[in-house]
Amino acid sequence: MTEELVQLVDDDGTPLGTAPKATVHTEHTPLHLAFSCHVFGPDGRVLVTRRALSKRTWPGVWSNAFCGHPAPGEAFDDAIRRRAQQELGLSIASIEPVLPDFRYRAVDASGIVEFEVCPVFRAVASADPAPNPDEVSEWAWSDVGDFRSAVAAAPYAFSPWLVMQLDALAAQGR
């Protein structure tokens, strides 16, 4: 198996090089390129996942369907499809950007930093996920309004990037 690399970027998103994913998330994480994807079912419900307890950052918190890092030279759509399969065993369609300029920095309880230029996408799936247990411990389809209410009531139970994304989407009237 080939070592997974992340793309390091400057404040403007200009590529600076690469680093091994296994070494980049530390207390001094450099700014790098990522993506986040919200998956909807044909009935309009949104897929929410609980991060596996073995995850290095934010273990056990609930979040959007999945996130990932495009490989150097990999198009976002290709990376999103790849990660949907790897993490959730899902085929997805209708990928579209919803927050193309999203970026964030967050520090988890262990001191590990996430620092990402992280465009946010939405996609559609027509089947239930079959998640990789190293990535996802639980999942559920949720009514969007109920999901937003849960996040607003208990933001500490959700990933910080999800909370920020929902705030940004609400500010856009989405």
What does the alpha-carbon distance between residue 19 and residue 25 come to, in Å, rounded to a whole number?
A: 10
Active-site annotation holder among 37, 67, 118, 135: 67
- Is 37 labeled as catalytic in the residue annotation? no
Among 37, 116, 118, 135, the active-site one is 116
Give 107's contacts (C-beta < 8 A, 6+ positions apart).
Answer: 113, 114
Count of other CB atoms within 10 angstroms of residue 56: 12
Residue 28 marked in a binding site: no
Q: Respond yes or no: is residue 27 known to be catalytic.
A: no
Give dist(CA 52, CA 137) in Å, integer: 5
Is residue 135 a known part of a binding site?
no
Residue 116, marked binder: yes
Alpha-carbon span 35 to 120, nearest angstrom: 6
**What is the rounded distance in angstroms from the CA atom of residue 172 to the CA atom of residue 152?**
17
Q: Binding site for Mn(2+): residue ranges?
A: 25, 32, 69, 114, 116
Q: Binding site: residue ranges?
A: 25, 32, 69, 87, 114, 116
Q: Binding site for Mg(2+): residue ranges?
A: 87
Q: Which residues are known to be catalytic?
A: 67, 116
